[in-house]
Structure 1
Amino acid sequence: MSEDRHTALNDTTPFNALALENQLCFSLYAASKEIIKQYKPLLAPLHITYTQYLVMLVLWEHDDLSVKELGSHLCLDSGTLTPVLKKLQDKQLLDRIRDQRDERSVVISLTDEGRALQSKAADIPKKLLALFPLTATEAATLQMLAGKLVQGSSDI
């Protein structure tokens, strides 16, 4: 984009700061919806939803987490996370066990089936990236910039 973003190409129409296409939030929202939509057929063979996939990604990296710790990784509260965890437990992919040191806390652990699902999901990130018109460098830059936005907002 040119240095002077406040005028249109013909220099007679002022920049409309309230136009939907000029909203960073809408671009991120629409992109997020599209990405999540593209996950659906990739996750269908695993019989899990996108949110369940995110939970599994965290547990494959950090098994035996409290619900609070898991929620922190995913930016989800326990009220949102609990039904997702219940469904994954019903699928026998994880166990929810009360922490013996603190009865109020529930520890989430992968089952053998949950661990085995990791190898079946291994190609999903690569398959997803192939669906979008981004180079590997562009994808890495986009991920870095999105992370910067998330980190910056948590510092406020």
Structure 2
Amino acid sequence: MAAHDALRLDQQLCFALYRASRAVIRAYGPLLEPLGLTYPQYLVMLVLWEERSASVKALGERLALDSGTLTPLLKRLEQRGLVTRRRDADDERVVRIELTSEGQKLRARATAVPAGLVRCAGFDGLDAQGRARVASLRQELVALAERIEVGVEDASED
């Protein structure tokens, strides 16, 4: 590739990832609307459906969200009765987020969301080949993110 081609927008990995990310988040809109969740709220609920309880700090680390973004989102989930926020009994500085029974019930209604996104992306998520393609793509993206994170850390140490 010629040097001048390297700066074409359509040659940028970052732009391809940006477009894909925006498309995926947009595709979640109609899937999450019946649940009354935004995409970031859905991510929080996914973690809580796995763990039932987490500190705000742990949620932020797991989702790569800062507390300024996470706190208002958690307040809205609490207002809806899906989660509770409490100070940790052992350490008052720690705020714990716990799933309520209503939040747990919402999980059953959310089970169709992943398959809906897979269909929207053009994969047949019901057959073995479709599941394998989705799993492979997810693994590649996770590995890419990890390599980039390590590269950024290495660059900042130089």
TM-score in terms of structure 2 length: 0.87
Equivalent position of 2:35 in the other structure: 46
Q: Can you give the 5+ residue segments of structure 1 that lack an aligned partner in the other structure? A: 1-5, 8-13
Equivalent position of 2:147 in the other structure: 152
Bigger fraction of residues in helix:
2
User: Equivalents in 2 of 1:48, 1:69: separation in Å?
Assistant: 21
Equivalent position of 1:3 in the other structure: none
If you compute each CA radius of gyration, which structure gives the higher value, 1 or 2? 1
State the Cα distance separating 1:136 from its structure 2 match: 3.0
* Correspondence 1:100-111 to 2 at 5 A: 100-111=89-100
User: Equivalents in 1 of 2:143, 2:119: separation in Å?
Assistant: 24
Equivalent position of 2:136 in the other structure: 141
* Correspondence 1:7-156 to 2 at 5 A: 16-134=5-123, 135-155=130-150, 156=153
Q: Can you give the 5+ residue segments of structure 2 that lack an aligned partner in the other structure? A: 124-129, 154-158
Give the direction of change, closer, same or farther, for the CA distance of 1:15–1:142 in structure 2 (3 Å limit). farther
Backbone CA RMSD of aligned residues: 1.4
User: Equivalents in 2 of 1:77, 1:153: separation in Å?
Assistant: 20
**How many residues were matched structurally?**
145
Q: Percent identity?
A: 46
User: Equivalents in 1 of 2:69, 2:148: separation in Å?
Assistant: 21
Task: String of CA shifts for 1:58-111, please: whole Å, max 9, x gaps.
Answer: 000012211000111101111110000000000000000001111111000000
User: Equivalents in 2 of 1:43, 1:128: separation in Å?
Assistant: 10
User: Equivalents in 2 of 1:119, 1:144: separation in Å?
Assistant: 26
User: Equivalents in 1 of 2:131, 2:6: separation in Å?
Assistant: 31
| 3-state SS in 1 of match to 2:5 | coil
